[in-house]
């Protein structure tokens, strides 16, 4: 068996791509997209007809609705290939506006339902700001399931658990990037690999906290830089993986050890945490890595949203 096949015994494998033509070979359960992945996909020749058709059919609509219809078109194509759920992201420029995020999420879900897609097959991705988490809490109460992304810290994870969101996506690779850059010449790659990787340690801590406190929110490790990070999180509820790293896992048949286990996690006792808006903002502010990477991630997704709009204007 390949490492990918073995990993699927412990963890739900999710493909992190907007390129739905790549999905079938890896047989993932779910798939995730984001503005950067969609922008990358629509610039490939294979997807020009899809972009052209969207323009022809919806070109007279406001740009924000045209974008949403394009995202849903990609999502529907992905859902035709996978058996599970697709994650579709709300415009990152709304990350600090609870009401606007809720409205956009409702529209995305309505567009999916108009295509005959059941609510259970869609997760609405929202940045893990305080405003985004409050929007997710409202949406979850309405039966719209959410995926809280750009998550880098325990305070974000705890607040998401309080909001009873369906799923969180802690970003392993971007945490790793920050610590590696911060350490500079002192960084020891070998010593910081595998279970010692700072991104892996963050997701492991969140996973164990959720299991210890009976929090039903699913944990999906995301943003991987190498296969070692993935293997060190085997047993996590879900892992969303790029096609490039899925291919590496599929080509390797070396043994794989399970590292995360809910039963073992529940045996440990840690104090419960709780955040209101003030304590959340203070905790996030005290975590330089999480503050910087959250802001950087939102800026990058906003930038790619602008680029996608420019492409559609052209």
Nearest to 138 by CA among 92, 105, 93, 111: 105
Q: Please give the distance of CA 261 from its chain centroid, rounded to a whole number.
A: 21
Q: What is the largest CA-CA distance in the chain?
A: 58
Active site residue 40: no
* 8 A C-beta contact, residue 216 and residue 162: no
Coil, helix or strand at residue 124 = strand
Coil, helix or strand at residue 297 = helix
In DSSP terms, 111 is beta-bridged to none
Q: Are strands 30-32 and 86-89 parallel, antiparallel or unpaired?
A: parallel
Q: How many other C-beta atoms lie within 10 A of the C-beta of residue 162?
A: 17
Q: How far is CA 279 from CA 26, 83, 156, 175, 275, in A?
A: 42, 40, 11, 22, 6
Question: Where does the chain have alpha helices with state H?
Answer: 3-10, 35-42, 48-58, 63-79, 98-114, 130-141, 154-162, 172-183, 198-212, 227-231, 243-250, 262-266, 277-286, 288-313
In DSSP terms, 218 is beta-bridged to 167
Which residue among 40, 125, 180, 268 is the active-site one? Answer: 125
Q: Known catalytic residues?
A: 125
């Amino acid at each position: 068996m390949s490492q990918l096949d073995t990993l699927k015994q412990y963890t739900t494998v999710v493909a992190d791509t907007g390129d739905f033509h790549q999905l079938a070979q890896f047989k993932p359960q779910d798939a995730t997209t984001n503005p950067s992945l969609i922008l990358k996909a629509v610039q490939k020749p294979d997807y020009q007809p899809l972009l052209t058709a969207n323009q022809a059919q919806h070109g007279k609509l406001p740009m924000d609705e045209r974008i949403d219809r394009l995202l849903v078109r990609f999502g529907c194509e992905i859902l035709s290939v996978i058996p599970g759920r697709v994650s579709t992201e709300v415009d990152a420029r709304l990350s600090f506006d609870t009401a606007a995020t809720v409205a956009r999420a409702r529209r995305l879900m309505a567009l999916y339902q108009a295509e005959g897609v059941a609510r259970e097959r869609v997760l609405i991705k929202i940045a893990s700001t305080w405003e985004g988490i409050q929007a997710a809490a409202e949406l979850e109460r309405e039966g719209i399931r959410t995926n809280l992304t750009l998550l880098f810290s325990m305070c974000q994870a705890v607040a998401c658990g309080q909001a009873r969101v369906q799923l969180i996506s802690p970003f392993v690779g971007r945490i790793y990037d920050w610590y590696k850059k911060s350490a500079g010449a002192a960084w020891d790659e070998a010593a910081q690999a595998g279970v010692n990787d700072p991104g892996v340690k963050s997701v492991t801590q969140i996973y164990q906290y959720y299991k210890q406190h009976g929090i039903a929110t699913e944990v999906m490790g995301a943003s991987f830089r190498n296969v070692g990070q993935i293997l060190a999180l085997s047993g996590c509820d879900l892992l969303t993986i790029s096609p490039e790293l899925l291919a590496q896992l599929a080509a390797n048949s070396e043994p794989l050890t399970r590292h995360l286990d809910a039963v073992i996690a529940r045996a440990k006792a840690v104090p419960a945490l709780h955040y209101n808006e003030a304590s959340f903002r203070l905790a996030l502010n005290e975590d330089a890595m999480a503050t910087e990477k959250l802001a950087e991630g939102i800026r990058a997704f906003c930038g790619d949203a602008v680029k996608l709009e420019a492409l559609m204007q052209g």
